[in-house]
Amino acid sequence: MRIVDLSMTVGECDSTPFAPEEVYFKIKPIVRWEEKGFVSNMVELTVHAGTHIDSPHHFVRDMPSVERLPLDALIGEAVVMDLTAKGKAKARIGPADLETAEQALAAQGIRIEPGAILFLRTDWPKNQNTTSPEWWNQSPCLTTAAAEWLVAKKPSVLGFDFAQEEKGSDYQKADEILTSGMRVHRVIMPRVVCQIENLINLDQIPSKVKVIALPVKWTTESAPARVVAILD
């Protein structure tokens, strides 16, 4: 058995790409090695740091938050859609790109079934500073039509290795997203169990693979997650 880690390493960083006034991940020592012979820290962070899971409550007040997500939806076979042709700066992923990726899966005998865990692979994180605003600003994105295409397949979970929110007239840069319509999120979140953002290493796994994606059990809309693939 081989395990592939699909999760980002999160290091200390003062501000988020999408909200400069927010702390991304900041460590505050409360016990130091030099003082006590052991170390203990407090952490201040956004729940959207690194690889994390968004619950529907992120966009729908009355839908489940992270601690209520069904874990059986987060352990199972994932299907990986190859969108690496769109893994370029500011590329827009539309329905035609998803259809091409679906056809490539079909050629391998893989179908996108209702209830699937579906990962979208662009390889955008490769050789990128993922805490830089440029990682987000230059990222490929989904069009709203592509988001509609995806939810029409009725997946239980959608996962991405790029900043999927559609850039448009109301949003071009990371620090503008909170004032945008966030149309892709609003299409997806009410219609899936959850979504996984900021995956990495999707190039190291096959098109169909067992995954485990478990968020911290926090009473929040989103939470950090360790996501792994298990290869026989």
Q: What is the pLDDT along the chain (232 residues), one digit of tens a residue?
A: 999 999 999 888 766 666 666 778 888 999 999 999 999 999 988 899 899 999 999 999 999 999 999 999 999 999 999 999 999 999 999 999 999 999 999 999 999 999 999 999 999 999 888 877 888 889 999 999 999 999 999 999 999 999 999 998 788 887 788 888 999 999 999 999 999 999 999 999 999 999 999 999 999 999 999 999 999 8
Tell me what pLDDT residue 24 has: 83
Residue with tokens 């190291």: 204
Q: Is 127 exposed, middle or buried (0-12, 13-18, 19+ CB in 10 A)?
A: exposed
Tell me what pLDDT residue 16 has: 67
Q: Which residues pair with 223 in a beta bridge?
A: 53
Residue 191 amino acid letter = R
Cα→Cα distances 217→64, 71, 225, Å: 12, 11, 10
Tell me what pLDDT residue 29 has: 92
Q: How far is CA 34 from the centre of its chain?
A: 38
Report domain extents, the chain: 2-8+48-231
∠ CA 207-158-4, rounded to 5°: 45
Q: Which CATH entry fits the domain spanning 2-8+48-231: 3.50.30.50, 3.40.190.180, 3.40.50.150, 2.70.40.10?
A: 3.50.30.50
Q: How would DSSP label each residue in 200-226?
A: --GGGS-SEEEEEEEE---SSSEEEEE
Q: Give pTM, 2 decimals.
A: 0.94
Under a CB-based contact definition with an 8 Å cutoff, are residues 45 and 26 in contact?
Answer: yes
> What is the token pair recorded at 95?
């329905």
Q: What is the distance between the alpha carbons of residues 129 and 127, in angstroms, rounded to a whole number?
A: 7
> What is the token pair recorded at 177?
């997203």
Of 102, 140, 97, residue with least CA distance to 118: 102
Q: How far is CA 47 from the centre of its chain?
A: 12
